[in-house]
Amino acid sequence: MAFTWIVSRIIRLFGQKTNALFYLLTYRELQAQIVELAKAMDVAPDMLAKEIGRRAARESAQRHASVLSIVPINPNSPEQIKKYIEVLWFVLFGKEMRDYTVRVDDDTPGRQRLTFLLKTCPICMGHEEDVERYKELYKTFSGGETEGYACMMAGMLEDLARIIMENKGLDIRIIVTEKQCFARGDGIMAVESQVVPVEEYEARRKVALSVARSVQQPTPAEAVESGFVQVATQSTKLFAKVYEQLNLERLDTFFENPNEQIKTELSQAIEKQLHFQPKEILAYFQNYEEDIFRVIGYLTVHALNEAGGIIQKAVESYLMSKIIDILLSAIEYGLETYIPEKIAADNKQIVEKLVDGWAHEDSVAKIKAMDAKSMFKLVLEGARLALSDYGQSFTGAKEATWTLLKKTNLLQEEGEAPSKSFNLIFDIVQEGALLAGYIMAMPIKAWFSSEYEAIKTPVTSAQEIYQSSREHLEKLFDLIEEFQTMDRSTEEEKDSSIRKAFPRIF
């Protein structure tokens, strides 16, 4: 699903990636130490390993709470639960779950049980090569109700699931258990996911562990302060607020079910929120049809700001205000250069269908006569007006980019030719700007039912646009990951300020 993929790629950015073999070998050494420690603590090794896995996931989740909140969870069906576990697997490993089937053992609502049957285990693959040396270790995780060797991983998955469900206020939890394990001689890896009520989850027997000492919080003097840090903090809050408004689960449903009666719903929503019928509103714009589109842009920005002052805060940040300037310029540029006439005409057709029956027939005729791209430019004009209300200044993409980069000291030590860092960052910004143009075209089309003949083509166009924009989004994620891993050992000073501000990404 589109948003599941996007969510997975975003979350992967926040992970620190190492060699997969190093991961496997570390896991094995951890388990070996856990077995020894469990004897000293007089607890079962699999229970200790699982508890350590849960706590390990908890630490990461606490750091990345706002990012994890974008994971869509809608556990109403085995299919949704399957998708949820797949996303969590990606969060955990940074790789998709592969070569597996899913068996639905119980689809009772609120008590679903699914078993993932994997042909290869990401935790113990290649264990046969050292089976003699680690025979005793693998044997420890077998027999009776003992969970398999990947129990620590199961604990990580379980707690990741728990934290996200808890943050979203759901009254269910998922218990993840490795039921079959290659390392102990089974022919397959079987990971069971059992949905239970939260009370039942909390009432389970826990391993009594404690660490007596606590970490001292840094003093204010020790806290790192920089413009980047403030932006990073603001962008995290902004991200969470935008997610709340966008409601990814609902958008997912719209993409899946394009046949809903959206015009009816839109009309009902307008009446509910504004206490006006659409017809009454559009009557005010007779002979001022261009203002309809300016007002759409204007009100959208102000409406977004209602959600915790997102726009105000963004404009107050030097970095974010420059990015807004660049993005709006890019969207406008994209309209002229990258949006085909057909796509623009499709959008105009949708607008015509909307206003038809709502606006006066003279207004409808004038709207039909308008150029498609001009409509969008009017929306942007309205958005710019609203942003100016918050203090946003517009200098154009080129000057904004240059000023932004000079301000962030990235160009201070540039030689005559731009460095690889500079080029990568510029490419990242460029791809982000191109993407904005594609994304702008998508939601409008997704809102309409395919029952309207005129809208069938736009719905197809939306799918084509999704494919094109996905390529640019992939490229954007790849560029950011390349920046994360490139050798910047000669750029220590610039690097450290970026790292301090965005420690979770860079």
- For 260-355, where are the alpha helices, taking DSSP H only? 262-274, 278-283, 289-305, 310-316, 318-337, 341-355
- Nearest Cα to Cα of residue 324 among 244, 233, 231: 231
Stretch that binds other proteins, among 35-43, 109-117, 251-259, 468-476 (CB under 8 A): 35-43
**Should residue 52 be labelled a site residue for other proteins when binding is judged by CB under 8 A?**
yes
Q: Which residues of 258-276 are buried (b: 16+ CB within 10 A; e: fewer)?
A: beeebbeeebeebeeeeee
Helices 20-41 and 151-167 cross at an angle (nearest 10°) of 90
Of the listed pieces 48-56, 295-303, 313-321, 429-437, which binds other proteins according to CB under 8 A? Answer: 48-56
Give the DSSP letter of residue 182.
G
Interaction between residue 324 and other proteins (CB under 8 A): no
Nearer to other proteins, 213 or 272 (CB): 213
Residue type, 446: A
* Contact call for residue 25 and other proteins (CB under 8 A): yes
Binding pattern for the stretch 465-494 against other proteins, x by CB under 8 A and - elsewhere:
--------------------xxxxx--x--
- Give yes or no for a contact between 483 and 428, defined as CB atoms under 8 angstroms apart: yes
In 3D space, the residue among 327, 307, 323, 304 whose CA is nearest the CA of residue 315 turns out to be: 323
- Cβ 214 to other proteins, closest distance in Å? 6
Task: Provide the minimum distance between the beta carbon of 458 and other proteins in the complex, in angstroms, as a whole number.
Answer: 38
Q: Report the nearest approach of other proteins to the CB of residue 399 (Å).
A: 33
Are 310 and 320 in contact, with CB atoms under 8 Å apart? Answer: no
Q: How far is CA 26 from the centre of its chain?
A: 29
Among 57, 67, 174, 181, binds other proteins (CB under 8 A): 57
Could you say whether residue 498 binds other proteins (CB under 8 A)?
no
Residue from 84, 93, 466, 483 touching other proteins (CB under 8 A): that is 93
183 to 222: interface string for other proteins, x by CB under 8 A: --------------------------xxxxxxxx-x----
Out of 8, 9, 27, 447, which residue is the one contacting other proteins (CB under 8 A)? 27
Burial class (CB in 10 A: 0-12, 13-18, 19+), 289: buried
Which of 3, 5, 23, 100 is the binder for other proteins (CB under 8 A)?
Answer: 23
Residue 201 near residue 165 (C-beta atoms within 8 A):
no
> 410 vs 50, 246, 320, 389, CA distance in Å?
45, 33, 16, 31
Cβ-Cβ contacts under 8 Å for 483 (sequence gap 6 or more): 421, 424, 425, 428, 506
Q: Which of residues 256-295 bind other proteins (CB under 8 A)?
A: none
CB of 196 to other proteins, least distance (A): 23
Q: Taking contact as CB under 8 A, which single stretch among the options 89-97, 111-119, 177-185, 426-434 is the one that binds other proteins?
A: 89-97
Question: How many chain residues bind other proteins (CB under 8 A)?
Answer: 56
Q: Determine if 91 is a binding residue for other proteins (CB under 8 A).
A: yes
Residue 347 near residue 441 (C-beta atoms within 8 A): yes
Query: Residue 495, interface with other proteins (CB under 8 A)?
Result: yes
- Under the binding rule (CB under 8 A), the answer on residue 131 touching other proteins is no
Strand ranges, E, within 51-171 = 100-106, 113-118
Q: How far is 168 from 162, CA to CA, in rounded Å?
A: 10
Least CB distance from residue 51 to other proteins, whole Å?
Answer: 9
Report in angstroms how near the CB of residue 110 gets to other proteins at its nearest: 28
Q: Is 453 among the residues that bind other proteins (CB under 8 A)?
A: no
Sequence-separated (6 or more) residues with CB below 8 Å from residue 40? none
Closest distance of CB 62 from other proteins, Å = 10
User: What are the structure tokens assigned to 3, written together?
Assistant: 């948003």
With CB under 8 A as the contact rule, the residue among 7, 9, 34, 305 that binds other proteins is 34
Q: Which residues bind other proteins (CB under 8 A)?
A: 12, 15-23, 25-27, 29-30, 32-34, 37, 40-41, 52-53, 55-57, 59-60, 63, 91-95, 122, 130, 152, 156, 209-216, 218, 485-489, 492, 495-496, 499
